[in-house]
Structure 1
Amino acid sequence: MHAHFLREVALIKDLIARQGMMVHENFVMAMEAFIDGDAALGKRVLEIESEVDSSEVSIEEECLKTIALYQPVADDLRLLISVIRANHNLERIGDQAARVARFAGLVLPQSLEPLRLMVRNLGALTSMMIYRAVHSLVERTGDEALLIWHVDRLVDRLHDETALRIQREVTENPAAVTDLFTALDAINRIERSADHAANIAKAVLYLVLGHIVRHHRKKTLRELPLPKVRILFVDDRDAGAARMAQAWVNHAHGDRFVAESAALSPADPNPLVAPVMAELGADITAYAPRGLREYFESERPLDFVIVLGNPDLLDALPNLPGTACLAWSHPDPNVGPDFADSTDALRGYRDTLTGVLDRWVKMLLR
């Protein structure tokens, strides 16, 4: 009987893993369809959604049948309960992705490019949460589930900022009001998808810790501290922005983060950068210039890739499922280290960059 039960559990784990990957890929396609205005891709998302619905029913039936036949207890029962919860949340993510895909005909005006970038970042964070949630369930990795819980805070904050930006654009650009309200509906659905991914993470924490973690965030964080978060900062010509960010994060937050840097065309930075960063105790000279291609020649686990300045660099990145690839349009690269002709100007850029980094770190870890 035990061997039969183990085979059933293995089957269920395989089914939920397949369902998770299908939902994740469908969400990624929905985001691409929405951001690029690709109606054909949006239609494909809607076709796959019916497969998600059918699979959701099959997985639930399999779990209920296994519980009825074998009456599992303790860890085995928690696993099946967690799968049922995750299965439901994955189906809801699929529904939200389908809704986003229906907006694929929307084309935002070129003047709203900063808004498009915010939506893209929101989708990247949510995509990472979905992928990691499924992986953490299948592999029972509590630390991965905990990271998802933290990233959900970033999603909430970015969603609120994006919604405020849309509301401001409505008053300033009334001709685009219909498309703007459509975009508002879309970001609400993206944020709900992130909430569902966070629910899966909580189910994993229940599986790992043995008790329900909802409404007990502080207690859970004490029991299961977050491992160091790995970040890669990227810029165009290695003008110094990426290495400035690397040096600062490792100096100020090295107990919680491991930061690295790379550039599309590596070169020596502005010679003023090192002494300006040294004023804050951060040693940029400890980090040699590295090319993006060279960096990815060896497999490196990453939680975040953050592009500083030129968002087109996102297209130069390899496929990194489970990694949130973000583009920060601030600080403005036109006043960055490659353009600074005075120490005072560079200090201003440094203070802006370190301030942005400190706020982002605080939001992630709180």
Structure 2
Amino acid sequence: MSRHLERDLQNLERALLTQASVVEGMIRTATRALCERQADLVWEVLQQEQLVNAREVTIEEECLKILALNQPVAIDLRRTAAVLKINGDLERIADLAVNLGERARSLAEQPDFYVSENLEKMANMAVEMVREALDAFVEFDANAAADVCRRDNEVDQLNLQLIEEVHEVMRTRSDLVEAALHFFSATRHIERIADHATNIAEDVIYLVDGEIARHRHEDLRQDSSAG
């Protein structure tokens, strides 16, 4: 591999990690806005989204440039492909953070609705999955990536608990049905963030092992449950 290609790949990976840091901050800000009823924080999330969208395009363009000009093979090809795919997942996570912010605005107008502390717990778990998946990418660690895939089951279980709480509110408080629906939507957005973290982890497994791991996390989740 030429030094020029290695330099381009390193720059590309640094740009991806910078993007990931911004996206993580967006999730945390949106979650805080939701749990603490601080709708004014949503503006911060919207501003960051513009930055993420612009950087997503730049990273994709750089990936395509590397593919066209350097025609990488083997591990270098997998590195480029992994960055391209992870870049897309990060952009979609940012979109979900914006959606969370919108739910925060709606729930801020419903002070009688109790926002379960499990929502923040679930959001923290999803953020940790994103960070750990990116750490696995940096460390070139397929085992750590597989651990992220297993954690998706924990988020799903917590999501089911939150859905039960929402159903109970809707059964007992007809005046809070609209707020409950916004809350349900928020839990769904967080669950999808965890799914994208799993996608990133699967891309890391592909990067390290050269094996496409899509959907294999179902087996990992079952193994974790059996243990």
TM-score, normalised to structure 1, is 0.58
* Contact 2:86–2:200 (Cα < 8 Å) also in 1: yes
- Separation (CA, whole Å) in 2 of partners of 1:167 and 1:70: 55
Say yes or no: does 1:133 pair with 2:136: no
Query: What SS is found at the alignment partner of 1:215?
Result: coil
Correspondence for 1:199: 199
By how many angstroms is 1:157 displaced? 1.0
Say yes or no: does 1:23 pair with 2:31: no
Which AA in structure 2 matches 1:150?
R
- Separation (CA, whole Å) in 2 of partners of 1:159 and 1:219: 20
Which AA in structure 2 matches 1:64?
L
Higher strand share: 1
Query: What SS is found at the alignment partner of 2:215?
Result: coil
Correspondences of 1:42-121 after superposition (within 5 Å): 42-105=42-105, 106-107=107-108, 112=114, 116-121=116-121
By how many angstroms is 1:219 displaced? 7.5
By how many angstroms is 1:139 displaced? 2.3
Correspondence for 1:161: 161
Greater RCO (CA < 8 Å, at least 6 residues apart): 2
By how many angstroms is 1:29 displaced? 0.8
- Separation (CA, whole Å) in 1 of partners of 2:15 and 2:205: 20
Which runs of 5 or more structure 1 residues have no equivalent in the other structure? 226-361
- Separation (CA, whole Å) in 1 of partners of 2:50 and 2:135: 23
Q: How many residues align?
A: 224
Structure 1 pair 24–8 and aligned structure 2 pair: CA distance change class (3 A): same
- Separation (CA, whole Å) in 1 of partners of 2:217 and 2:175: 44
- Separation (CA, whole Å) in 2 of partners of 1:23 and 1:193: 11
Query: What SS is found at the alignment partner of 1:214?
Result: coil
Which AA in structure 2 matches 1:26?
M
The structure whose Rg is larger is 1
Segment of structure 1 superposing worse, 155-164 or 91-100: 155-164
Query: What SS is found at the alignment partner of 1:211?
Result: coil
Correspondence for 1:142: 142
Q: Deviations over 1:112-138 (max 9, x none)?
A: 3xx521111110110101111222212
Correspondence for 1:5: 5
By how many angstroms is 1:78 displaced? 0.6
By how many angstroms is 1:160 displaced? 1.5
Correspondence for 1:32: 32
Which runs of 5 or more structure 2 residues have no equivalent in the other structure? none
Structure 1 pair 181–31 and aligned structure 2 pair: CA distance change class (3 A): same
By how many angstroms is 1:152 displaced? 0.5
Which AA in structure 1 matches 2:166?
I
Query: What SS is found at the alignment partner of 1:102?
Result: helix
- Separation (CA, whole Å) in 1 of partners of 2:57 and 2:42: 24
* Contact 2:149–2:220 (Cα < 8 Å) also in 1: no
Which AA in structure 1 matches 2:102?
R
Structure 1 pair 58–157 and aligned structure 2 pair: CA distance change class (3 A): same
* Contact 1:34–1:42 (Cα < 8 Å) also in 2: no
* Contact 2:60–2:87 (Cα < 8 Å) also in 1: yes
Q: Deviations over 1:235-289 (max 9, x none)?
A: xxxxxxxxxxxxxxxxxxxxxxxxxxxxxxxxxxxxxxxxxxxxxxxxxxxxxxx
